[in-house]
């Protein structure tokens, strides 16, 4: 008789040792859900000492909103005692002593003991896994967006870039013909056209690359004085003599991603100068507090204006309002501005009657967040 009892004691001790040594948190409850045994890991992840847990209902380890369902789940487990994962298809949460919650995975095992059937649950804190999954989903979205952009690029490249190539081909034929016919008078003009097309192609490619990189080469956060920044950018454009920049008095000094903001301003200034129809012009930079989190900046010129029917079109890649043979431009400037601004959660819009003057407005976050990016540097070939 005493052998039998000491066997039981030995088995019992071994069992407790195994549970204690388990890498997961282990909690054993009886049929009514009262905690009979916990291990150190359980104490750690829930933040209780075992004396606080033993004899307590298991529901104290659940967030309050799940407690009313739990007795029902326990009953159904006991009606069909199979080892299984708890709550398949549901998100499970545990509740720590301090009231904070964390996502968990729970495995349930029925144990037959002399005192009746107990349930041993193995509990794993899956916070890290959940975080990693969220990151994975974000990356996936970014990848999709990147692929879509690549497809657009390929389509655009096959169209808009072929056009100057065709022109160059034709001109080369004319020069050949004219030389053959000794009709060389038009050759210098044709050569200029040829070079013009070559330049155009180069600019298109540069702008296309800039567009694809827009919103990615962030540089870092730095404190900028917007007025000084704008003045520098304007001067770097080497504007023609009659053009000047008017800065509002209340332009902010704030910490932001300077590189993309510079790109936006640079493109807007370039556009305003390039599309101006007079020898003299004024470009204004103003700032408004749009809402709690955003500034609204506007770059306003006194050029020819853009009629309202074109207000959406001008933001599309490669769309120009004037023929390229009149005003050289890739048509990418505003598309680039839109892309950068939207990357940081802002919005770009135009105000223009079409008679005189254009104002491009864009919102910019007061406290900007850098974005997660898939690596954007090309393979070294």
Partner 1 sequence: MQIPQKNYREVTLLVVDDDDIDTIALERALRKLKLLNTIYRARDGQEALDKLRSGSIPEPYIILLDLNMPRMGGLEFLQVLRTDPLLTHAVVFVLTTSKSDEDLVAAYRKHIAGYILKQHMDRDFLEVIGLIEHYWRLVELPVSKD
Contact positions with partner 1 (CB under 8 A) in 68-107 = none
Which residues, in sequence order, are bridge partners of residue 222? 256
Q: Does 201 bind partner 1 (CB under 8 A)?
A: no
Q: CB-wise, 260 or 333, nearer to partner 1?
A: 333
| Cβ count near 325 (within 10 Å) | 11
User: Where does this chain touch partner 1 (CB under 8 A) — which range of 38-46, 202-210, 225-233, 319-327?
Assistant: 319-327
Out of 40, 56, 163, 270, the only residue in the binding site for partner 1 (CB under 8 A) is 163
User: Where does this chain touch partner 1 (CB under 8 A) — which range of 3-11, 87-95, 159-167, 336-344?
Assistant: 159-167
Q: What is the DSSP letter of 361?
A: E
**Long-range contacts of 226-230, Cβ-Cβ distance < 8 Å, separation of 24 or more:** 226/251, 226/252, 226/253, 226/254, 226/285, 226/287, 226/297, 227/251, 227/285, 229/258, 229/261, 229/262, 229/265, 230/265, 230/285
Residue with tokens 């104490």, as numbered in its chain = 43
> Minimal distance in Å, beta carbon 189 to partner 1?
10
Out of 131, 162, 195, 356, the only residue in the binding site for partner 1 (CB under 8 A) is 162
What is the C-alpha to C-alpha distance for residues 264 and 268, in angstroms, rounded to an integer?
6
Q: Does 319 bind partner 1 (CB under 8 A)?
A: yes
Q: Does 308 bind partner 1 (CB under 8 A)?
A: no
User: Where does this chain touch partner 1 (CB under 8 A) — which range of 21-29, 165-173, 215-223, 362-370?
Assistant: 165-173
Q: Does 174 bind partner 1 (CB under 8 A)?
A: yes
Q: Does 351 bind partner 1 (CB under 8 A)?
A: no
> Which stretches of the chain bind partner 1, using CB under 8 A?
159, 162-163, 166-167, 169-171, 173-174, 193, 197, 310, 319-326
């Amino acid at each position: 008789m005493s052998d039998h009892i000491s066997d039981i004691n030995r088995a019992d001790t071994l069992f407790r040792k195994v549970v204690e040594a388990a890498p997961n948190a282990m909690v054993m409850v009886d049929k009514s859900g009262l905690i009979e045994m916990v291990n150190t890991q359980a104490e750690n992840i829930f933040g209780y000492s075992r004396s606080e847990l033993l004899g307590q209902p298991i529901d104290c380890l659940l967030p309050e909103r799940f407690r009313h369902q739990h007795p029902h789940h326990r009953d159904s487990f006991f009606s069909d005692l199979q080892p299984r994962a708890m709550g398949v298809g549901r998100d499970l949460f545990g509740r720590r002593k301090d009231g904070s919650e964390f996502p968990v995975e729970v495995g349930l095992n029925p144990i037959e003991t002399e005192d009746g059937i107990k349930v041993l649950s193995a509990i794993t804190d899956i916070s890290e896994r959940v975080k990693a999954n969220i990151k994975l989903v974000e990356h996936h979205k970014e990848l999709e967006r990147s692929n879509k952009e690549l497809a657009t690029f390929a389509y655009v490249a096959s169209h808009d870039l072929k056009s100057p190539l065709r022109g160059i081909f034709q001109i080369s034929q004319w020069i050949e013909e004219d030389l053959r016919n000794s009709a060389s008078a038009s050759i210098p003009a044709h050569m200029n056209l040829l070079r013009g097309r070559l330049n155009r192609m180069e600019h298109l490619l540069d702008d296309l690359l800039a567009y694809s990189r827009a919103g990615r080469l962030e540089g870092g956060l730095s404190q900028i004085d917007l007025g000084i920044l704008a003045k520098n950018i304007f001067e770097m454009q080497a504007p023609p003599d009659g053009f000047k920049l008017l800065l509002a008095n209340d332009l902010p000094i704030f910490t932001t991603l300077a590189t993309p903001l510079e790109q936006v301003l640079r493109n807007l200034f370039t556009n305003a100068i390039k599309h101006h129809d007079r020898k003299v012009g004024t470009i204004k930079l103003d700032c408004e507090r749009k809402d709690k989190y955003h500034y609204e900046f506007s770059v306003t010129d006194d050029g020819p204006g853009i009629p309202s029917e074109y207000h959406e079109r001008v933001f599309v890649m490669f769309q120009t309002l004037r023929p390229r043979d009149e005003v050289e431009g890739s048509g990418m400037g505003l598309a680039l501005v839109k892309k950068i601004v939207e990357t940081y959660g802002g919005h770009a819009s135009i105000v223009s009657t079409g008679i005189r003057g254009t104002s491009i407005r864009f919102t910019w976050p007061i406290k900007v967040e850098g974005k997660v990016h898939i690596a954007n540097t090309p393979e070294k070939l």
